[in-house]
Structures are given as C-alpha cells and as structure tokens.
Structure 1
C-alpha cells in the first residue's frame, strides 16, 4: 500500500515493481493485492504485468499500521 500511495497519480504499478525491491515473493503479494482489490481499496489491470493502483484519494484516508 505504501508503494502505491507514494506513486499515486503516476499511474498503476506492476506487481514486479512492488515485489522485487521489497524481496516479497510475487505470488504471495499477488494474493494480498487480490484481496485488497476485492475489498475495494485497489484497482487492478489484468494481464501479464498485473498492474495495481489505489482506488481512493489517499490524501483523505488515514491508514494505521
């Protein structure tokens, strides 16, 4: 979510761009991002690249970690 919030307004991010730098297995991240998409937090563009973007305006949202 932080990766997507940092790049909000720049377009969608491919799954590999999020998984690689954080050393997260792509399949593991894909499962998490799929759940967030179903919950309405993310937009997903299907396809080989599997790009994701925020579905909401992060400036109006508080996320507690």
Structure 2
C-alpha cells in the first residue's frame, strides 16, 4: 500500500502541469474562437485525477 501511495504522490506534479497547460491552451483557443475538445478532455481528466489523488492521500493519513 505504501508503494502505491508513493507512486500516487509522485504523479501529482505531472497531473498539475497537464492541468495548467491545458487551461492555458483552452484560454488561447477561446480568444481566437477555435475548437478545443481535446484540451477540454485532458483538462477534465487531469482535474479529476488531482482530486482523486488528494482524496486517497487524505484517507491514507487517517
């Protein structure tokens, strides 16, 4: 269980970077009224992963 938790914690920065990059890409595409479904998908996935990882970390601390 500790190994899985360590892997989850080390992937948080990766998911955070994916979230930020896609957020900036969506904002740029909105400015020029371009289509952005792929960026929206990855933005949603990375946000959900960060929330799930946070939940697992908080549960494991109890």
State TM-score, norm by structure 1: 0.29
Structure having the higher helix fraction is: 2
The structure with higher relative contact order (CA 8 Å, sep 6+) is 2
Structure having the higher strand fraction is: 1
**Higher Cα Rg: structure 1 or 2?**
2
State TM-score, norm by structure 2: 0.30
